[in-house]
Structure 1
Amino acid sequence: MEKKKRREAATEIFDTLGDFTSKENWDKFFTVRGSGDSFEWYAEWPELRDPLLAQLKTVAAAAAADPLQILVPGCGSSRVSEYLYDDGFRCTTNIDFSKVVVSDMLRRYVRSRPEMRWRVMDMTELQFAEETFDVIFDKGGLDALMEPEHGAKLGTKYLKEVKRVLKSGGKFLCLTLAESHVLALLFTELRFGWDTSIAIIPQKIGSKSAFQTFLLVAVKGKMGVLNQLSLLFEHHSINLKGEQVHSLLDAVENENKLRSQYSSGDDIVYSLEDLQLGARGNLKELLPGRRCQTILGNHGSLYHYKAILLDSKQHSEPLLYHCGVFIVPKARANEWLFSSEEGQWLIVESSKAARLIMVFMDSRHTGASMDEIQKDLSPLVKGLAPERSEDETLIPFMMAGDGIKQRDVIHEVTSTVTGHMIVEDVIYDTAAEDPPNLKVFRRLTFGRSSGLVQSEALLSDNILQSNPSAANKKGKVVSSRSRKKGGQKRSESHKLIHGSKSMKVDHSCLASLYHSGIVSGFALIATTLEHIVSSGKKIRTYIIGLGAGLLPMFLRACLPFLQIEVVELDPIVLDLASEYFSFVEDDQLKVHIADGIHFIRDVDAVKSFPVNGTPTYSPADENKTSGTKILIIDADSSDLSSGLSCPPTDFVEDSFLLSVRDFLSEGGIFIINLVSRSAAIKEKVILRLKAVFNQLFSLELEEDVNEILFAFPAKMCVDADNLPEAVVKLNSLMKIPLPNGQIESGRFRCLL
C-alpha cells in the first residue's frame, strides 16, 4: 500500500515537473518515488528488445572480439541496462545528473551486475575522452532537454557531446516522439557525415497511447558525406491518420530535398554552421585542395562577409602561415584572379598559408576602415582556423598592395566608353631615397580594371631625345600593364611629389617591360625590315589600343621607317594621352577613333582611310610603303571575369584571326600582348593561333604575367634560325636602343 502511494505521488510530481531540465525537480521525483522502483519513458522492454538488440548486434559484429562500450545518458531508474547486461552487453556506462537515482541504481546492481558503471554526470557536459563509446542509447533524454524556454541550446550542446564521444562507425540510438523542433535539431546536427534512419517501436498490445515512439539510428561516418534519410518501416504499418506521423513524414521529405540540393550543387555557399557541422569535412583538420564558400557574420559583428576557405594544395616552397586572411577590395572582386577558382589557388600559392580565408568586400563595407574590418573579422575567422599542436598564433591579414610609397593623383575623368580613369604620379617603395636617383612614374589606370596599370611612363626634367645613349643609361625599369595596383596600401601622405608637375614624359625610355618585349619581337623580321629600309620604303604599322600612347611614341622615335596608325575606341583616352603623356600626332603617327576589329577588316578596302576627315594616305604615299605590315594588339579587356585581361576575347576569336591572316597576306607580323593568369586560357588562345597561322613564337616576361605572341602568315620568312644575328640587325636599325639585356634571342620560344 505504501509503495502504491509513493507511485501515485511521483506520478503527480511528474505531471507537474514543468521543467524536465531541472536537477532539483528530478531529485524530488526520484526521492518521492523511492528506491527499488523503475520508470520507463516511452517503451517497455518487451517492445524495445528486438529493435534495440538488432541494432547492437550489427555494431558488435563490426567490433569483432572487443566488447561494446555503451553509454546510456539520462539513465534514470530504467531497467534497460539490466536487460542488456543479461543479454550479454555488460560494458554499459549509465549517467544521470540526479545523485538520488544514481545512488539508488548503484546499490541495486553493484553485486548482481558488477560490470555496469554508474556516474553522476550532466549529459550536456560529458566527462569522457573523444571516441570512447561504440553505442549511445538515449531513452528520451534529448526530448527532455528541448524545453520551449531553453530552445535548442541544451539539445545542441548535448548532441555535440554525443558526436565527440562516439567512435567512428558507432551508433547513436535515440528514442523520441519525433516532435518537429526535435527533428529539426537532429536533422541539422546529424546532416553531414551521418547515415541516419528511423524505425518504429511497436506499441504494447492493448495500449491506448496516442503517441508513437520512434527509434532514430544515426551511424557516425566520414565527415562531409551526405546521405539521404531512410525509413525502416512501411507507411501502412502504422496509423497514418495521426498528426504525429504525418509531421514526421513531412519532415523527412523536406530534409531529403534539402540534402539533394546540397549534393547536386557545384559551388554551394554554406552557412558557417554547416561547415562547422562537417559539410566539407572536419574544419579542424587541413584537407589539401578543399575549397568552400561561406558567409561570415553574426549578431555580434558589424557586417556580413562573403568568404572562401581554401586549404593549400602541395607547395613547392615551405609554408609561412598555418592560417591567413586575404582581403579582396570591392573594386577587384570581379577580376579573374579573385573571382575564378584557378585564380584563387594562385593567391593561396603566393600567400604561403596552409589555409587561406579570402574575404570579399562589397557595398556593405563602404566607408569602413581596414582597421575596423580587421577588428570585426578577427573573431569570425578564428572559428574557421584549423587546430595545431603549437601555441596559438595570430592569424595574419593580407591584401593586394600596390607597393606605392607616394602617390599624387593628377587627373580623374569618366567616359561613357571606358568608365572611370585616373592619371597619377607615383614613387614606388623600392625607389632610392636620394633625390638625384629618385624615379617618378606617371600612370594611367582604368577603374574597370583597377588591379592593372594600363600605361606607365618615366618622368624626367631633362629630356634628351636626341641622345639615345642617355636613355640607355637610365637602366632597366621593370613594369607592365599587369603590374598590381590594388589600391589598399595607399600612402598616408597626401603631399605632392615635389617637382613632378614640371617634369615631362620621357619617350626615349620604355618603362613597361612588355612594351620592350613587343619591340624585341621585331628581331624576328629584322632581315625583312633591313630590306625595306634599304629600298627607301616604309612599313605600315597598326596598333590597336592607344592607352597613354607610349608605345607608338617610342616606335616613332626609335624606328622612323614605320608609318604608324593607332586605333582607339575612346576619344577621351586620346585626350588624356595628349594632355598628360605628351602624345602628339604628325605625318608619321596618326590615330583613328574606331572599333579595332572593324578597322582591320575594312582598312584595305579603302585606299584613303580618313582620320578626322583627312585621308591618311594619298596614292603617292601608297607607293612609298611596302606590302609588309605589322599589327599589334595592345588593348585591355573590360570583362576581367573572363580570365583574359588582355586582349578582349573578340580579338582572339577565330573570325578575327582569319581576318588578320588576310590582312597580312602580303607578309608581316601579328603581335598580341596576352595577359592571363590562367594557363588553360593561355593554351586555348595559343591553339587558336596555331590553327590559323604558319609560325608562332612566344616571349614570356620574367616576373610578370604578360606573354607576347608573334604570329606569321604562310608567306612570311622569319629569322627564327638566326636570332642572334637578327638581334644585331634590329639593334643597328634602332635609333634608341633598348637597355642592355632586353633583346635576348634565347628568350623566344617557337610554338609552331
Structure 2
Amino acid sequence: MGKKKKNQSSSSSSATDLLQTLGDFTSKENWDKFFTIRGIGDSFEWYAEWPQLRDPLISLIGAPTSSPPPQILVPGCGNSRLSEHLYDAGFHGITNVDFSKVVISDMLRRNVRDRSDMRWRVMDMTSMQFMDETFDVILDKGGLDALMEPELGHKLGNQYLSEVKRLLKSGGKFVCLTLAESHVLGLLFPKFRFGWKMSVHAIPQKSSSEPSLQTFMVVADKENSSVVLQVTSSFDHSSLDCNKNQAFGIHEALESENQTRREYSHGSDILYSLEDLQLGAKGDMKNLSPGCRFELILGGEGDFCFSYRAVLLDARENSGPFMYNCGVFIVPKTRAHEWLFSSEEGQWLVVESSKAARLIMVLLDTSHASASMDEIQKDLSPLVKQLAPGKDDQGAQIPFMMAGDGIKHRNVVHQATSSLTGPIIVEDLVYENVDPEFSRIWPSEDLKFRRLVFQRTQGLVQSEALLMRDGSSHRTDVETERKKASSSSKSKRKGTQRRSDDSGNQLKVYHGYLASSYHMGIISGFTLISSYLESVASVGKSVKAVVIGLGAGLLPMFLHECMPFVGIEAVELDLTMLNLAEDYFGFTQDKSLKVFNHLFCLQLEEDVNLVLFGLSSESCIKDNSFPEAAVQLGKLVKFQHLEISQSIMDAAKKIRCLK
C-alpha cells in the first residue's frame, strides 16, 4: 500500500509537472502523454467541481425524466467526472467526445459496467461527425479555454463554436464553464450575438483565505431570431469573490458587448460584416427576404486583397420575373456619389433593371484605383458566393455587372501624402467620350487629361487639366521664354525634378483651357465687373487678384495667360500642394504670379479689388445688361481658341442676380 501511495504521489507530481510544461493545449500528442501518466483512476477537474456545479446545471438542463430525455454532448471531456455525476443524477443521454484515444479508452473501461448507456467517441471537437441539430444541451468545461491558444488566435475556437451552433437543436442550450478571460469572451459574445439569448453566472467558490480565479457559466439559448438581446448576468460585479483583474475584465467585457448590442438594436446605419451575417444578424441569408436592404463590409482580411463597401438588396414583392438568382453590380468610384447609386430610391431602380432576385451593389473607392476589374472580380467572387440565396445554387454563376465610369484608360502618375489633406493622387486618363467642343478644336487628338484627386473626398476631382503635345497649344514665344526662366529658377530647389512635361510622350498641361466647370463659372463671374476691368486695362494698369488655396494652380495660370493685366497673389499653406502643382501641372511663379505659404504674408492693399471666392463691387449690374457685359469680358480675355471663349461667354449670360 505504501509503495502504491508513493507511486501515486510520484505520478501526480509528474502530471503536475507535465501540465505546467504542456504549453500547447491543442496538441493531441501532449494530451495523450498527460492522460497516460495520470492513469485510469486519477481524474482531473478543471475549474469548479460537482458540489458547486450540481444545482446550477440541473436547473438549466431540466428534469432528467422528461420525454424524450435530453441529449447532452460533452466535448473535450478528458477524464473529468462531470459526465458521471450527471449520469448518476438521472441524465442518461450523454455523449462524450475527446480527440485523445488514450482518455476515451480509459473512460470507457471505467464506465462500461455501471453507466452502460453513456457513449464515448474519439473525435476532434472542432470537426464533429454528428448530424445537424442532434443535441439539446452542449456542456463545455474548459474546452473552449483550452482551444484559445494565443499563437492560433480565434481559429480553433471559431471552428468549435460553429460546430456547437450546428449541432444544437432549436431551443437548445450551450453551457460553457470558463474563466471568462477577455480573449475568450471576445469570441464567445459576438459568436452568439444574433438569434441567441445569453446569460452569465458566477459559480460558487470553495472557501478560501485568498481570492482565486472564479469559474463562470456562460449560457447561450438558441432562439432562431434576428433580434439582438442584451447579455444578462446573475451576479453583482462588486460582490465577486475572485481576483480583481478577473472581476474587472468580465465587467468590461459585458459592458462593451451590451453597448455593441444596443447599437445593433437601435442603429440604422450599421455596417454588417460577412461574419455578422453568417451568425444570423439578418436571419438565414440562404432565404430571400423581399424588400430587405442593408449595408455591409466585404473582405479586408485573410486572403482578400481589398475591403469593399456594399449594399445588399432583395428585390421587392411582385418585381419579377428574374433572370438571375443573385447578381453583383459594381459602381466605380467616379460614380458612387450619384443619386442612382448613393440613395435608396436610386438603388431600388438598379435592382429592377438588373433582373436579379438579390443584388449586391459594390461601391468602389480610391483604395481600388490600382486594381483592374478582373482583379476585383476575382477578389469578390468567393465573398459574394457566401451571400447567394438558395442551398442548391452553389455551382451557379453569379453575373458581374458594372456602371461605366466613362474612362477608356487611366494611369496613376504620382501618389503623395499631405499632413493637411491626406493621400493625394495625380492621374492621367483618356475619356471614352469627350465634349463635342473638344472635337471641333482638336478633331484628330486622342485627348488626355491630368487630374488631382484627394482620396478623402470620394467622387470629387480637385483639379483637372488638358494635356497637349508640345507646340500644339500655340503658346506665344513670350510665354515660352517666361516658363524657361521660371524653370531655371525652380531647378535650384533641392531635390526637385521637373515632371510636368511627361517627356515620354511630350505632353504638357495646357493652361489656355479650364476643364473644371467650377473654374469656368468663376471666370464667367467676371462679367459682373467687366466695365471696371476694361477701364483698368485700357490705361495700362493692373488689377490685383487674391486666390486662396492653390490646388493644382490651374486657375491662377489661366488668369496669368489669358488675362495678362491681372496680378495674382495666391495663398497655399500646404507645401505638398505647391510642389505637386509645379512638378505635375506646369505651375510657375514670376513677378506677376506669386505664392505665399503663410496667410499673414498676404498684403491686402487698397487696390486689391478682386477676391475670387467673394466679390464686392459698388456698381450694380442689371440682368438685361449681362449679354453686353459678357461681350465686354470676351474682349478682355485673350483666348487662343474662339470655342473656349464662347463657352465662358455662354456661362456668363446665365448669371442672374439673387436679390
TM-score under structure 1 normalisation?
A: 0.53
Q: 2: CA distance between counterparts of 1:375 and 1:423?
A: 39
% of aligned pairs identical?
A: 59
Shift of 1:327: 1.1
From 353, 357, 366, the equivalent of 1:354 is 357
Residue 493 of structure 1: aligned partner: none
Q: Secondary structure at the match of 2:316?
A: coil
Write out per-residue CA displacement over residues 501-556 of structure 1, whole angstroms, 9 at most, x where no aligned residue. Answer: xxxxxxxxxxxxxxxxxxxxxxxxxxxxxxxxxxxxxxxxxxxxxxxxxxxxxxxx
Residue 612 of structure 1: aligned partner: 627
Residue 602 of structure 1: aligned partner: none
Residue 398 of structure 2: aligned partner: 395
CA contact (8 A) 1:410 1:424 kept: no
Q: Secondary structure at the match of 1:134?
A: strand
Q: 1: CA distance between counterparts of 2:87 and 2:25?
A: 28
- One-letter amino acid of the counterpart of residue 352, structure 2: E
CA contact (8 A) 1:270 1:293 kept: yes
Which consecutive residues of structure 2, in runs of 5 or more, have no partner in the other structure? 408-430, 445-458, 462-520, 526-621, 630-657
From 74, 80, 83, the equivalent of 2:82 is 80
CA contact (8 A) 2:320 2:357 kept: no
Asked if residue 35 in structure 1 is aligned to residue 50 in structure 2, the reply is: no
From 237, 241, 257, the equivalent of 1:255 is 257
Asked if residue 370 in structure 1 is aligned to residue 373 in structure 2, the reply is: yes
Residue 92 of structure 1: aligned partner: 94
Shift of 1:141: 0.5
Shift of 1:368: 3.8
CA contact (8 A) 2:199 2:233 kept: yes
Which consecutive residues of structure 1, in runs of 5 or more, have no partner in the other structure? 414-421, 426-447, 451-568, 574-605, 615-655, 660-752
Asked if residue 332 in structure 1 is aligned to residue 335 in structure 2, the reply is: yes
Q: 2: CA distance between counterparts of 1:255 and 1:169?
A: 23
Residue 46 of structure 1: aligned partner: 51
Write out per-residue CA displacement over residues 312-343 of structure 1, whole angstroms, 9 at most, x where no aligned residue. Answer: 22234322212110011223222222111122
Q: Secondary structure at the match of 2:62?
A: helix
Shift of 1:449: 12
From 24, 32, 37, the equivalent of 2:29 is 24
- One-letter amino acid of the counterpart of residue 401, structure 2: M
Q: 2: CA distance between counterparts of 1:336 and 1:128?
A: 50
Residues 235/376 of structure 1: CA separation in 2 closer, same or farther (3 Å cut)? closer
Residue 317 of structure 2: aligned partner: 314
Q: 1: CA distance between counterparts of 2:460 and 2:316?
A: 28
- Alignment of structure 1 residues 40-189 onto 2, 5 Å: 40-57=45-62, 65-189=67-191
Residues 281/149 of structure 1: CA separation in 2 closer, same or farther (3 Å cut)? same
CA contact (8 A) 2:147 2:156 kept: yes
Write out per-residue CA displacement over residues 319-375 of structure 1, whole angstroms, 9 at most, x where no aligned residue. Answer: 221211001122322222211112212222222212111011222333543333322
Residues 26/15 of structure 1: CA separation in 2 closer, same or farther (3 Å cut)? same
CA contact (8 A) 1:31 1:100 kept: yes
Q: Secondary structure at the match of 1:612?
A: helix
Residues 308/15 of structure 1: CA separation in 2 closer, same or farther (3 Å cut)? same
Write out per-residue CA displacement over residues 263-313 of structure 1, whole angstroms, 9 at most, x where no aligned residue. Answer: 221121122332222222232332322222122233433332211111222
Residue 558 of structure 1: aligned partner: none
CA contact (8 A) 2:211 2:241 kept: no
Residues 240/202 of structure 1: CA separation in 2 closer, same or farther (3 Å cut)? closer
Residues 82/214 of structure 1: CA separation in 2 closer, same or farther (3 Å cut)? same
Q: 1: CA distance between counterparts of 2:53 and 2:336?
A: 58
- Alignment of structure 1 residues 321-720 onto 2, 5 Å: 321-390=324-393, 392-400=395-403, 409=434, 411=436, 609-610=624-625, 612-613=627-628
Residue 287 of structure 2: aligned partner: 285
Write out per-residue CA displacement over residues 18-76 of structure 1, whole angstroms, 9 at most, x where no aligned residue. Answer: 21111111111111111133221111111110111111118x79xx6221111000111
Residues 179/412 of structure 1: CA separation in 2 closer, same or farther (3 Å cut)? farther
Q: 2: CA distance between counterparts of 1:384 and 1:290?
A: 13
Q: 2: CA distance between counterparts of 1:256 and 1:42?
A: 26
Shift of 1:147: 1.4
Q: 2: CA distance between counterparts of 1:26 and 1:354?
A: 51
Q: 1: CA distance between counterparts of 2:442 and 2:56?
A: 77
Q: How many residues align?
A: 436
Shift of 1:423: 12
Residue 228 of structure 1: aligned partner: 230
CA contact (8 A) 2:227 2:265 kept: no
CA contact (8 A) 1:407 1:424 kept: no
Q: 2: CA distance between counterparts of 1:423 and 1:378?
A: 42
Write out per-residue CA displacement over residues 462-521 of structure 1, whole angstroms, 9 at most, x where no aligned residue. Answer: xxxxxxxxxxxxxxxxxxxxxxxxxxxxxxxxxxxxxxxxxxxxxxxxxxxxxxxxxxxx
CA contact (8 A) 1:408 1:424 kept: no
Shift of 1:207: 7.3
Q: 1: CA distance between counterparts of 2:390 and 2:42?
A: 47
Q: 2: CA distance between counterparts of 1:147 and 1:104?
A: 26
Residues 383/199 of structure 1: CA separation in 2 closer, same or farther (3 Å cut)? same
Residues 367/238 of structure 1: CA separation in 2 closer, same or farther (3 Å cut)? closer
Q: 2: CA distance between counterparts of 1:369 and 1:8?
A: 63
CA contact (8 A) 2:214 2:243 kept: no
Q: Secondary structure at the match of 2:361?
A: strand
Q: 2: CA distance between counterparts of 1:87 and 1:241?
A: 32
Q: Secondary structure at the match of 2:201?
A: strand
Q: 2: CA distance between counterparts of 1:116 and 1:210?
A: 34
Q: Secondary structure at the match of 1:375?
A: helix
- One-letter amino acid of the counterpart of residue 29, structure 1: F
CA contact (8 A) 2:211 2:242 kept: no
Residue 483 of structure 2: aligned partner: none
Q: 1: CA distance between counterparts of 2:30 and 2:443?
A: 75
Residue 576 of structure 1: aligned partner: none
Shift of 1:97: 0.6
Write out per-residue CA displacement over residues 410-467 of structure 1, whole angstroms, 9 at most, x where no aligned residue. Answer: 5467xxxxxxxx9999xxxxxxxxxxxxxxxxxxxxxx999xxxxxxxxxxxxxxxxx
Residues 349/82 of structure 1: CA separation in 2 closer, same or farther (3 Å cut)? same
Q: 2: CA distance between counterparts of 1:46 and 1:176?
A: 17
Q: 2: CA distance between counterparts of 1:15 and 1:402?
A: 62
- One-letter amino acid of the counterpart of residue 362, structure 1: D
After the TM superposition, which of the residue ranges 284-293 and 189-198 deviates more from structure 2? Answer: 284-293
From 270, 273, 276, the equivalent of 1:274 is 276
Residues 236/373 of structure 1: CA separation in 2 closer, same or farther (3 Å cut)? closer
Residue 719 of structure 1: aligned partner: none
Q: Secondary structure at the match of 2:434?
A: strand
Q: 2: CA distance between counterparts of 1:106 and 1:143?
A: 25
Q: Secondary structure at the match of 2:382?
A: helix
Residue 716 of structure 1: aligned partner: none
Q: 1: CA distance between counterparts of 2:385 and 2:115?
A: 47
C-alpha RMSD over aligned residues = 3.5
CA contact (8 A) 1:315 1:349 kept: no
Shift of 1:391: 5.5
Q: 2: CA distance between counterparts of 1:449 and 1:139?
A: 56
Residues 350/70 of structure 1: CA separation in 2 closer, same or farther (3 Å cut)? same
